[in-house]
Copies of this chain bind each other. A is one copy, B any other.
Amino acid sequence: MFNFEYRNPTKIIFGKGQIATIAKEISPGTKVMLTCGGGSIKANGVHEQTMRALAGCEVIEFGGIEPNPEYETLMRAVELGRKEKVGLLLAAGGGSVLDGTKFIAAAIPFKGDEWDIVRKGAAVESATPLATILTLPATGSESNPFAVISRRGTGEKLAFSSDHCYPKFAVLDPETTYSLPRKQVANGIVDAFMHTMEQYLTFPVHAELNDRFAESILQTLIEVGPKTLADPNDHDARATFVWSATMALNGLIGCGVPQDWATHMIGHELTALYGIDHARTLAAVAPHLYRVCRENKAEKLQQYAKRVWGEESAEAGIRRTEEFFESLGVPTRLARYEGVQADTPALVVSRFEARGERKFGERGIVDLKAVEEILRRSLAA
């Protein structure tokens, strides 16, 4: 096991009806800015429950944070937050609203050009306190310090992270997710699965416990994913899925182990080029990446196949992964996504080259030749 440091101070408030309890987490007299997206929280009852819980607080609202949250939109919230001197940002929504609110929190007290926080990784020395109410289980953003922010003007989509951006608390009420469209739930299952794989499917370092924790999340997603897709109102299955997605990216399973993330890097380019949903890009990259990297990942591929799927060979494990994603309605071949061009492999490679990015994955095993081969296989299949 590698040396590591780990700390996650977010308080998880999990279960039915828990939005009603949030007032006890907020100091009396705090001015709250409720941030949200396009209005789904009004349809699913979260807005009403939240406003009722905050009856004793002064609340202002900032809606309209879009998928792939935009710098320009977020800066309007920053200005409002400064003017109103808000004491707490309460983000209610999915990963985009939560990510966007982390940027708002970091930008409000920031001195200088706020875009430097993401573009230059400028030091975030403080942040307006923030908290989250999750309505779309997938990204883990509800209890981690990571955010991805976009800027249409410059075509940038960049990540940042700050210890000051851990939410103070995160409410996860599975009931509030019952009304999600089937496609978003399927995407969330794949997203959580792939977050786990990126921290697991590398090379062995005798991290037996974290390996088993990762396998636990994978096995659980395989077990409850199809159930929660078939019956969104099955509370037990939905609750277990929500909790699995949180645990997949709250930092714990990545402790002391090598990490990959090459699938994410390639996937981001496919989203940027064709607007394919993030999780779907991962499904269209990962199986091919595992085949291309099968020698470097041999031991963990074998362990994964055996422990997670009960299969004897790496190839059988990869095939079962593809079948699992496909069974959720998520295609694992780029050829199956509309609008994807035949020259995608060369296009993605040239984008990486232009940015000087030449190696990805644990030990840098995914070079640009491998990227091309991965995408070629995904297109051909």
Interface residues of A (CB under 8 A from B): 1-18, 169, 206-210, 212-213, 215-217, 219-220, 223-224, 236-237, 239-240, 243-244, 247, 252, 255-256
Which residues on B sit within 8 Å (CB–CB) of A12?
A: 4-7, 255
Beta-carbon contact of A220 and B212 below 8 Å: yes
Beta-carbon contact of A11 and B15 below 8 Å: no
Which residues on B sit within 8 Å (CB–CB) of A8?
A: 8-9
Beta-carbon contact of A7 and B9 below 8 Å: yes
Which residues on B sit within 8 Å (CB–CB) of A7?
A: 9-12, 169
Beta-carbon contact of B236 and A256 below 8 Å: no
Given contacts A1-B15, A213-B213, list 6 more A-B pairs with CB under 8 A.
A9-B9, A209-B217, A209-B244, A212-B215, A212-B220, A215-B216
Partner of A6, one of B2, B11, B239, B256: B11
Query: Could you tell me the distance in whole angstroms from the C-beta of A101 to the nearest C-beta in chain B?
Result: 20
Residue of B nearest to A214 (CB): B216
Beta-carbon contact of A220 and B243 below 8 Å: no
Docked complex Cα distance between A220 and B210 (Å): 10
Residue of B nearest to A242 (CB): B1
Which residues on B sit within 8 Å (CB–CB) of A210?
A: 243
Query: Could you tell me the distance in whole angstroms from the C-beta of A172 to the nearest C-beta in chain B?
Result: 10
Beta-carbon contact of A240 and B5 below 8 Å: no
Beta-carbon contact of A247 and B6 below 8 Å: no
Beta-carbon contact of A1 and B239 below 8 Å: yes
Beta-carbon contact of A18 and B1 below 8 Å: no
Which residues on B sit within 8 Å (CB–CB) of A18?
A: 3
Beta-carbon contact of A243 and B256 below 8 Å: yes
Docked complex Cα distance between A169 and B6 (Å): 10
Beta-carbon contact of B6 and A206 below 8 Å: no
**Pairs of residues from A and B, 6 with the lowest C-beta to C-beta distance, nearest first:** A3-B15, A212-B216, A206-B236, A7-B11, A9-B9, A6-B12
Beta-carbon contact of B4 and A15 below 8 Å: yes
Residue of B nearest to A234 (CB): B206
Residue of B nearest to A239 (CB): B1
Which residues on B sit within 8 Å (CB–CB) of A219?
A: 212
Docked complex Cα distance between A175 and B217 (Å): 30
Docked complex Cα distance between A13 and B3 (Å): 8
Which residues on B sit within 8 Å (CB–CB) of A209?
A: 216-217, 220, 240, 243-244, 247
Which residues on B sit within 8 Å (CB–CB) of A236?
A: 1, 206
Beta-carbon contact of B10 and A3 below 8 Å: no
Q: Of A5, A15, A209, which is in contact with the most chain B CB atoms at under 10 Å from its CB?
A: A209
Given contacts A8-B8, A13-B5, contact A224 B239 (CB under 8 A): no
Query: Could you tell me the distance in whole angstroms from the C-beta of A174 to the nearest C-beta in chain B?
Result: 9
Given contacts A10-B7, A213-B213, contact A208 B15 (CB under 8 A): no
